[in-house]
Amino acid sequence: MSNSNFSGCNNKFGLKCYLFQLVVVLLLAGYQLGWGQWKIETNILSLLPTDSQAQASQQQDINQAKSALFQQANQRVLVAISGEQAIPAYHQLANTITSFTGIENESMTVPDISDVIAFYQPYRDSVMTDDYQALLTEPQAINNFVLGKLTQVSDPFVSGSLAISPRLNLADFLATGLTQLQSFETEQGIIVVHKDGLKHYIMPIKVNVDGFSVKQTQVFSTQLQAEFQRLETKFDVDVLYSGVLFHTAESSQQAEYEMSTFGVISLLAVLLMILAVFRSAKPVNLSLLVLAISIIYGLTAVVTLFNQLHLLTLVFAVTLIGIVIDYCFHAFVSLSNSNSNTGGGIKSIRTALCLGFITTALGYAALIMSPLSLLSQVAVFMIFGLFGALLTVLLLLPYLNLSGNISVTPSVWTLTDKLNTWLTRLHQQRRLVFALLSLGLVSVIVIDDINFNDDIRLLNSSPAFLIDNEIKMAKLMGYQHSQRIVITADDSETLLQRQEVLLARLQHSQQQGLTVKSIASLLPSVAKQQASNDLLKDAEQQQIFQQGLAILGLTDTVDGFKPLTLDAFNSGPLQALSAVYIFQYKYQNQDTKNIDESVDKKATMKYALWVETSGVALNTDLQQWIADQPDMSIDNKPAEVSAALNHYRQALLLLFAGAILVVTIVLCLRFGLMQGLLGLLSIMVSAGGALLLTQLSLGHLNIFNLLAVLLILALAIDYVIFYQEHGLQRNTVLAITLSAISSALVFGVLALSVTPAVESFGLTVMFGILLVFLLSPLSAKQVTVLSTKQVETESRGDDVSNNSIEVVK
Amino acid sequence: MGSWLRLLILLSLTGNVFAADDAKDLSSGKIKGSAAPLALLSQFKPLAIASGTFVQHKYFTVLKNPVISSGELFLDQALGFVWHTSKPIASTMILKEEGLFSIDHRQQQKQINNATPIASVLMSALSGDLAALETQFSLATTSLTKAASSNQTCIELTPKDAVIAKVMRVIELCGKDTVDHLVLFETSGNRTEIELSLTAVDELPKAIREQL
């Protein structure tokens, strides 16, 4: 009784402390929710490590430009119609689209050549191609050039501009520029591509959808796909379509389906299991309460310390659920025994829980200093979340006076005891088991190449036909080797000048087969225009054109300089082209976000453009040169995401090394060298085995398998510590069995997912849990045989078999 | 541009015997009759391998005198075409399987990537699919420039495609046994007249074949 009194006092004091800190945390959470300045970050690239502050800001700048570009690409859908009736089908589609709100036909109307020439008339003497410039040194070269142009069978640019620009620099400039940018043929104003003897009529469509509205995306996707289907049957044509939109729609539908089936089924299964084992709804409610509190702790800590929460943090942090549930089961099982004289109740598991928490927290603590903000966020989330769960389990649950209210079904005890007997037998053979498994592990590692796959496609659950469509469309449009180089600048003139620097560099590289497309061929920088104008004037003074003009019977003087600016260009007939290549975006500098909002808004608008290279991939020299430019970057989203995944994978492997070191120290300090190393061995073999089994079944490993290992490690540490502390006790065996089953139900079911990433995560967790479940008991101390009587005393006369049960002393 | 050249070469080289026509009205371009021009075209007996010369007169509205050029052309239906201008300045246009190329007087070779919309029609003409021509052009027998005494039939091609029509008003092909005269009327008012003289040969010169 005195013990219980003491325990009661202790509980009350503990509870007061607990409630006090809970209120503090909830207030902080409330403050952060209502007035906090944090934001949710979804861009995986924003999580990439950065070397210095200056670089970070540049990086952020160019990333924002790329996001804007990416957003543009997200809205684009390409449709290719082929077949006898392709043109009527095209017109029907164009008609139908006008009736869809939010979807528009983006087909560019081919500008009238005479309009274009008329537009350039004021700037006629400020533009010329590099080839033309090279001719300006000698009169004969220019004469020959002009004659060559004039004797061509038909050149609409020469025809149209000879009267206003008899030196033919304008005709040459426009013909070269438009040829470079409009590489597609048109038929009746429709872009047409020839492939495999078929004509494909291309319609670019713009869908006004932002990346976050999944529902809207699905509606557009269904609407368009239904229309394509109708065209195929009505006109007997083939409709090929591609666009991010369809993938988003398919993936989100798939995710919704999986969440609604797997999610519900696994949750129901866990709840049923708890109900079956404890015959009460209380444990269910309590687990949800503990889980909710732990998540609040974790989130509050992250938003307080980081001011932002990355969505991926939450993905990584599902591990929290697994361990918190684990804590709950230990608590429930011990509570169901708390009336016994052997000192059940939460108190009996306090040491093991605390030790488990300290080990896990120390392991994660190594991550806090990581240069990858995602991993530090995950670490903070896990440590504080687990801390909240630990406090709740240790301080709140005892006060709720649950003793006697939670009891384990007798038949469950019977099963547990049978399992215990089996595990004990396995324990007796543990040397053999460990030796065999370690040998197997090492030999498979030696024989089989462990290969990691950081491909972004792992995140993609698109059906094969969509991926096939993308590939076909890329072939059709010649996008296969194309790369985009993004340039940013504060103003349009700097932007155009930097573009010229890049183009000069690309030309200088003389890479065979490299084709470059850029708006520079129609809109040079003002500086370059000025230089061109000066050159023409110089040439005129040197009478370079005199002879040629005389032959034609024309007279003309070079105009004074008049700059063609971006604004002027955008008011002309080629505006649609500039809209494709140049875009403005809002620049948000995180360092200056506290500056008064009255700051001139124009100052935050920046310019970006892209240059497209195709034909061959850029050589390493060029790639390096571009990487060295602070305002330029090659836009290759898949490669960047893959690089980010690779980074995280390396960091995770480091984390594992750190965690294993911490575990070794803690286990050896607490349980002695031999036991500590045994515990470590079972953890390592489980984690390694899970990875190997995954490698064997999937053929490769990826970061998501490592994430699964993170969960397995956390669970294994808990299991091992509990077994080391309590031995093969039925309480421990039952709690751990329940924990393993629930983890398998919640995470293992993910192995059925269509998304490769989720599938591989689930698979590794499944293998890992199985191995941990089998191997962690083997690290328990030496077992001795206890008589059935002793066991009966311990279990308060529950229905126990007469078999002798071995437990740790 | 280049593609027009392709069309012209193709049309002229696949020429046939045009029925005599006494068209007189030069300025109006009045259509004299629509005696199944497609049927006429379909009687073409393609010259598989041929070579010849041309003289081209380009009339620019802003220039007092036409720009005159001349040269040779070579055709091998299996290989492609070479259109070589030798006077007043050398330049060459080559159509081969890999695409259309131009070589200027400095021997700089350029590929002409943006085949104009009618490139597909040219391919149809090459393969004898003349129905495809009718999808792109309205065909009519007419006489725009030839004197009545010339005893020649002319056929007029008006582009149906609005984009082409913005540049090219009408193409006129005239000839007796083969097309020997063609005129391009541009919407700008400029005009190109080409006189052709082609004969069938067994094989193109080696130097030409090497270019193809």
Mutate to test the interface with A, among B59, B163, B195 (most CBs of A within 10 A): B163
Dist CA A354 CA A658 (whole Å): 20
Give CA–CA dist B30/B28, Å, rounded.
5
DSSP assignment of A96-154: HHHTSTTEEE-PPPPPPHHHHHHHHGGGTTS---HHHHHHTT-HHHHHHHHHHHHTSS-
Q: pLDDT band at B38, cuts 50/70/90?
A: low
Pairing state between β A39-41 and A308-310: parallel
* CA dist., res. A390 & res. A383, Å (int): 10
Closest by CA position to A519, among listed A485, A472, A477, A544: A485
Query: What is the pLDDT, as a whole number, of residue B131?
Result: 60
User: Taking the model in full, what pTM does it have?
Assistant: 0.66
The pLDDT value recorded for residue A120 is: 92
Distance (Å) from the alpha carbon of B28 to chain A's nearest alpha carbon: 22
CB burial of residue B39 (10 Å; 0-12, 13-18, 19+): exposed
Rounded mean pLDDT, B19-35: 36
Q: What is the pLDDT of residue A670?
A: 85
CA atoms lying within 13 Å on the CB side of residue A228: 20
Residue B59 binned pLDDT confidence (cut-offs 50, 70, 90): very high
CATH number for A410-476+636-809: choose from 3.40.140.10, 3.40.50.10440, 3.40.50.2000, 1.20.1640.10. Answer: 1.20.1640.10
Check pLDDT > 90 for residue B70: yes
Say if residue A609's pLDDT is above 50.
yes
**Is the model's pLDDT at A588 over the cut of 70?**
no
Q: Best of B6, B55, B67 to disrupt the A interface by mutation (most A CBs within 10 Å)?
A: B67
Whole-Å CA distances, A235 to A82, A83, A87? 10, 8, 10
Residues 144-163 of B with CB under 8 A from A: 160-163
Q: Which residues lie below 8 Å from residue A587, measured CB to CB, with a gap of 6+?
A: A61, A64, A604, A605, A606
Look at A66-80, A88-102, A591-605 and tell me which has the smallest mean pLDDT. Answer: A591-605
- The answer to whether B207 faces chain A, any CB pair under 8 Å, is no
- How far is residue A471's CA from residue B33's CA, in Å, rounded to a whole number? 51
Q: Between residues 198 and 227 of chain A, which touch chain B (CB distance below 8 Å)?
A: 199
Q: Residue A563 pLDDT more than 80?
A: yes
pLDDT above 80 for A275:
yes
Q: Which residue has the higher pLDDT, A293 or A801?
A: A293
* Any A CB within 8 A of B167 CB: yes
Residue whose pair of structure tokens reads 């991010």 in the numeric block: A244
Which residues of B are less than 8 Å from A186 in CB distance?
Answer: 117, 163
What whole-number distance in Å separates Cα of residue B175 and Cα of residue B43? 14
Asked whether the beta carbons of residue A159 and residue B188 sit closer than 8 angstroms, the reply is: yes
Q: Which amino acid is at B68?
A: I
Write down the pLDDT at residue B68: 92
Q: Which helix (H) or strand (E) holds A360?
A: helix A346-368
pLDDT band of A297, cuts 50, 70, 90: very high
Q: Which long-range contacts (CB under 8 A, 24 or more apart) does A418-423 make?
A: A418/A801, A419/A733, A419/A737, A420/A728, A420/A730, A420/A733, A420/A805, A420/A806, A420/A807, A421/A803, A421/A805, A421/A806, A423/A728, A423/A733, A423/A777
pLDDT in the model for residue A661: 87
Residues of B in contact with A198 (CB under 8 A): none
In this prediction, residues A359-368 reach a mean pLDDT of: 78
> Could A154 and B168 be called an inter-chain contact, meaning their C-beta atoms sit closer than 8 Å?
yes
In chain A, residues with a C-beta closer than 8 Å to the C-beta of B91 are 148, 151-152
Model confidence at B18, pLDDT cuts 50, 70, 90, reads: very low
* Contact between B5 and A194 using a beta-carbon 8 Å cutoff: no
**Smallest Cβ distance to A194: which of B8, B67, B120?**
B120
pLDDT of residue B12: 31
Cross-chain Cβ contact B117/A199 below 8 Å: no
Q: Which two tokens stand for residue A756?
A: 């490769």
Cross-chain Cβ contact B162/A189 below 8 Å: yes
HSE of A632 in the Cβ direction (CA atoms, 13 Å)? 26
Contacts of A114 in chain B (CB under 8 A): 166, 188
Among A382-391, A510-519, A688-697, which stretch is predicted with the lowest mean pLDDT? A510-519
pLDDT higher than 80, residue A110: no
| Model confidence pLDDT, tens digit, residues A738-774 | 888 888 887 777 788 777 777 888 899 899 999 999 8
pLDDT in tens, A150-171: 887 777 888 888 888 888 899 9
**What was the pLDDT predicted at B46?**
61
pLDDT tens, residue by residue, B128-170: 445 656 767 787 776 544 444 456 667 787 888 777 777 778 8
pLDDT at B123 over 70: no
Q: How many CB pairs under 8 A join A and B?
A: 102
pLDDT at residue A806 in the model: 39
The mean pLDDT of chain A is: 79
At residue B4, the pLDDT reads 37
Asked if pLDDT for residue B42 goes beyond 70, the answer is no
Domains of chain B and any CATH numbers = 2-198 (2.50.20.10)
Task: Render pLDDT for A480-515 as a digit per residue (tens, 0 to 9).
Answer: 667 888 888 888 899 999 999 999 988 888 777 788
Yes or no: say if B118 and B136 are a contact pair by the CB < 8 Å rule: yes
Taking an 8 Å cut-off on Cβ atoms, the answer to whether B117 and A185 are in contact is yes
- Structure-block tokens of residue A399: 């006060």
Return the domain boundaries, chain A.
1-36+295-407, 410-476+636-809
pLDDT score of A574: 85
Residues in chain B: 212
Specify the DSSP class assigned to residue A45: G
Looking at the DSSP assignment, which residues form a beta bridge with residue A191?
Answer: A186, A202
Closest CA to A376 of A307, A279, A471: A307
More reliable by pLDDT, B150 or A304 = A304
Shortest CB distance from A156 goes to which of B69, B88, B167? B167
Interface of A with B in 376-435 (CB under 8 A): none
Closest to B192 (Cβ–Cβ): which among A154, A175, A194?
A154
